[in-house]
Amino acid sequence: MSPTPKTADRSAAAARSPGSKRAPAARATARPKAAKMYARKINRSMSQKALLTVLSRKYKEGEVIFIDRLEMQAPKASAGKAMLAAFGKHFSGFAKSKNAALLALPVRHTPTIKSFQNFGNIAVEEVRNLNPLAILSVKYLVIASPKDAVEMLGKKVK
């Protein structure tokens, strides 16, 4: 016996009535939670001390390389690859596929940055933008123009 349209309407209305067992829950639908923010504010003095500690540790472990000058005349990846091959002969960590080195330049030099941007194992930063996390995430820290870089770090860390 199939229900007549009149009884079908009654059973649908009964399902929606608040006292019915078949009524949906009275609360709102579940929504996804907002992504949790893990960022924390760090005081300037604490950040400076962390940077100095990380630089000191890298230097003691022999993972800081100083280069007198690192400037590419034109943005050529082949020149960057040749330079990495030369580093690889003396330092074993440059053969890593990821996070091999961080090149710290005293000032922004676009041809040099473009020469190394296609390599996944090399990152290029300015000295003024160095932070402890970036330094710790790589094997070697290559600092170009050490005099200028130390002067820049001296301004950053008081």
Report whether pLDDT(4) > 70. no
Q: How many CA atoms lie within 13 A of 134 on its CB side?
A: 17
Distance separating alpha carbons of residues 47 and 35, to the nearest angstrom = 26
pLDDT tens, position by position, 64-88: 999 888 878 888 888 888 888 887 7
Which two structure tokens, joined as six digits, stand for 48? 């400076």
- Report the pLDDT value the prediction gives residue 156, as an integer from 0 to 100: 77
The helix/strand/coil state of 157 is coil
- Report the pLDDT value the prediction gives residue 154, as an integer from 0 to 100: 85
Domain 63-156: top CATH class: alpha beta
- Report the pLDDT value the prediction gives residue 31, as an integer from 0 to 100: 77
pLDDT tens, position by position, 17-41: 555 666 565 566 677 888 888 888 9
Mean pLDDT of 94-107: 83
- Report the pLDDT value the prediction gives residue 7, as an integer from 0 to 100: 56
Length reported for the chain: 158
What is the pLDDT confidence band of residue 56, given thresholds at 50, 70 and 90? Answer: very high
Radius of gyration of the chain (CA): 30
Domain ranges, ordered by start, for the chain: 63-156
Report whether pLDDT(11) > 70. no
pLDDT tens, position by position, 115-156: 888 888 889 999 999 999 999 999 999 999 889 888 888 887
